[in-house]
Structure 1
């Protein structure tokens, strides 16, 4: 059984990166907004709406690994988008803290720090539009 079939992701998908927190209603679009060098650098953290950690990997384009090549003295690197897979690992408190910090710092919203995860996800989705890839 594959990881995808084993661990369902409950929408929305919430992604933390170095530029803040965004959410998507489409896991494929969320992965499409990520690039393999950033994935490999570990700048993304992702959860589903119930706090399941989402594994982020580069999109497999037929089993080929991204290649580095040197042409006329210039290095190039293949860049692919991301692919999201449910991990089965639950970290709802980590997600709740990420959302509350984002709402407080980035949006200057006055939020209750004892807000539940479900309420924090709802407030994030209410205050910010869904991200588009």
Structure 2
């Protein structure tokens, strides 16, 4: 295989890996949305909302202000949904790392070396 063909194959593999990761995470989020809301995960919605960063807290406070001043529930509802999706995505990313680690553990030594060489390229 020429260098160009090897490079294209490696890039194709990396792209496939990125796509697989994105699809896996999206599926994990979808599967675990209802368990999160019903308290069946190791965390819950309130905990995810309590872990917001400064920008997210500002947006959440603005949505709460709109609810209290004008009675408009839509901004708060949308903000809570957005924050929960972001929190689930973070959890899914951790779950993906654990999933990949499990796959790596199941690989033979030769497969693992091939994977490392591909990842290093």
> TM-score, structure 1 length as denominator?
0.24
Larger strand share, 1 or 2: 1
> TM-score, structure 2 length as denominator?
0.25
Larger helix share, 1 or 2: 2
